[in-house]
Structure 1
Amino acid sequence: MNLHRLDLVSLSLFNLVARTGSISRGAELANLAVGAASKRISDLEAAVGAPLLERHSRGVTVTVAGQALLGHAQRILSDVDQLAADLSDYAAGIVGVVRLWANTSAVTQFLPQDIAGFAEANPGVRIELEEENSSETVLAVLDGRADLGIFADRTPTLGLHVQRYREDRLVLVVPQGHALDGRERLRFEEAVDYDFASLPRGTSLARRLQAETEALGRRLKIRIHVRSFDAMCQMVAAGMGVAVLPRDAIQAQLRVLPLRQIELEDDWASRRLLIGLRDAAAVPRHVRLLIEHLSRQA
């Protein structure tokens, strides 16, 4: 088996043939003559040492060996596309790319303005922002999918180097006319017996509420789980429960929905958002520039 004979044109052709179920259609999409395409497929089979396609009157189907090659071919072609995109960035004057993962609180409240300010001052640095929950963000930094992450305190950092980014304040959100409407401040235990709308269980906010409820010896009554702060506000406005949310993240919703925010007097309602990275001593300059910019915003 001589896999060094594989080439990108043949892998791309094989991907098209497998996807369309036809050598002639794959050849057409690859801008190749049918005879040339058939020769390339035969050469691939010779290099692999096994049939890749089963030929029949209605076209072709992929064999078991073909399925194995197809998976690798698609990954290789995707990597080549990413390489081309990265090189085109450098050709256009991009000096670095920062892969930043952050939780919803950071993305909703702070990062739009902070990233815009950084991009204006550093036009040669491109930021790829991924929104995920705090635990997934930590894991992404640990395994190298992200250069740095922003997540809530109380999240296990698993050895990451961390520094402070921002602080936010959690408030209770209730529909207008609710039994608690009219209160300016309260402790969480005064609301814990009501139905709640919540983010998914794996998020740092959901885990925090669960832990504080258990510390009270009570059980949180989650009526519905949704995936965004806006959806939580919509559910509260529709009478599906109350919710605990970051104060600065909901101001736009308070202006358009029949909602009230109530200050929580509990110490845990004040949260810290942290910046995490794997190795503070080996950070590329363009990543360091972003970290310094975000740290200044604190």
Structure 2
Amino acid sequence: VSDAIDAQGLQLQPVAKDRLVLIAPAGHPLAHRSRVYFAEALDEPFVSLAAGSALQDHIEEHARAAGHSLTLRIRMKTFEGLCEMVAHGVGLGIVPQRVASRYRRRHGYRTIALADDWAHRHLCLCFRDWKTLSSPMQSLLVHLGAKTGS
């Protein structure tokens, strides 16, 4: 899970960094930018993930916090579908940087860094009590935490 969630009663162990980026069709006015604040894109139409997606809920929560609601043109079930719709000019999208990199060559959109602090997250493993984890699991979590610098 992302560290952005409320993990009531659970401990979160960061294991990977997760940076969110804005993706835009090649000809879009924001496409030439290297960095953008989310608020600068809020008047644009978006391609989003399906309703109920934790990432999509997170993005929409930040839009509301900025006093906007996203204008959604279409909701897609997969990241690849979202990236393809963005490349065809349907709207902008927000995806993890690794996802953007994976599909960029195939679909030809532009990737723009989101300058907002909330776009820099950690992916975490959850557990209730460190003492109840097996020794191999504790070792794995220590190793993964050390790799992310957490």
TM-score (normalised: structure 1): 0.47
Among candidates 154, 174, 180, match of residue 4 of structure 2: 154
- Given the alignment of the two structures, is residue 251 of structure 1 paired with residue 101 of structure 2, yes or no? yes
Among candidates 11, 26, 36, match of residue 186 of structure 1: 36
Instruction: Find the aligned partners of 1:185 and 1:288 in 2 and give their Cα distance.
Output: 38
Kept in 2: contact 1:192–1:213 (CA 8 A): yes
* Structure 1 residue runs of 4 or more that deviate by more than 3 Å after TM superposition: none
Shift in Å, 1:193:
1.2
Kept in 1: contact 2:79–2:99 (CA 8 A): yes
| The structure with more helix, counted as a fraction of residues | 1
Q: Which residue of 2 aligns with 1:291?
A: 141
Kept in 1: contact 2:15–2:141 (CA 8 A): no
Instruction: Find the aligned partners of 1:165 and 1:288 in 2 and give their Cα distance.
Output: 13
- Given the alignment of the two structures, is residue 224 of structure 1 paired with residue 74 of structure 2, yes or no? yes
Q: Aligned with 1:152: secondary structure?
A: coil
Instruction: Find the aligned partners of 2:99 and 2:146 in 1 and give their Cα distance.
Output: 21
Identity value in percent: 35
Instruction: Find the aligned partners of 2:33 and 2:67 in 1 and give their Cα distance.
Output: 24
Deviations 1:261-294 (A, max 9, x none): 1111111111121221122111123333432332
| The structure with more strand, counted as a fraction of residues | 2
Shift in Å, 1:196:
0.9
RMSD: 1.6
Comparing both chains, which one has the higher relative contact order based on Cα–Cα distances under 8 Å and sequence gaps of 6 or more? 2
Aligned pairs, number: 148
TM-score (normalised: structure 2): 0.89
Q: Aligned with 1:240: secondary structure?
A: coil
- Given the alignment of the two structures, is residue 200 of structure 1 paired with residue 53 of structure 2, yes or no? no
Q: Which residue of 2 aligns with 1:22?
A: none
Kept in 2: contact 1:230–1:250 (CA 8 A): no
Kept in 1: contact 2:87–2:107 (CA 8 A): yes
Shift in Å, 1:165:
1.6
Kept in 1: contact 2:4–2:121 (CA 8 A): no
- Given the alignment of the two structures, is residue 164 of structure 1 paired with residue 14 of structure 2, yes or no? yes
Gaps of 5+ in 1: 1-150
Gaps of 5+ in 2: none
- For structure 1, which segment, 200-209 or 285-294, has the greater mean C-alpha deviation from structure 2 after superposition? 285-294
Q: Which residue of 2 aligns with 1:278?
A: 128
Kept in 1: contact 2:35–2:114 (CA 8 A): yes
